[in-house]
Amino acid sequence: MNKKILFYMFFIIILSIIFTIVFSSFSYAAYPKLVSKLIKGFESVKDWLIKIATPAAAVAVRYRCFYEKI
């Protein structure tokens, strides 16, 4: 009985390793819908932050030059 249990455990472990190796390349080959939506969302947030930060940086540089002249 003990050898039978050991055989089944060994069989399950080997089978799970084979399934993991075979099917892992297919499941990670492309972006799922959720990941692509998150990437697009972060890209739009990055674009908005750049649009907001550019005038603020220009104002900061202008006032720094103004303070250096005083």
CA separation for the pair 48, 55 (Å, rounded)? 12
User: What is the pLDDT, as a whole number, of residue 55?
Assistant: 73
CA distances from 33 to 6, 9, 39, 45, 67 (A): 42, 37, 10, 18, 51
Record the pTM.
0.40
Cβ neighbours of residue 31 closer than 8 Å, sequence gap 6 or more: 39
Ordered per-residue pLDDT tens for the chain, 70 residues: 688 888 899 999 999 888 887 776 655 556 677 777 888 888 988 888 878 777 766 666 666 555 555 5
CA separation for the pair 9, 49 (Å, rounded)? 55
User: What is the pLDDT, as a whole number, of residue 69?
Assistant: 55
Q: Please state the domain extents for the chain.
A: 1-29, 31-70
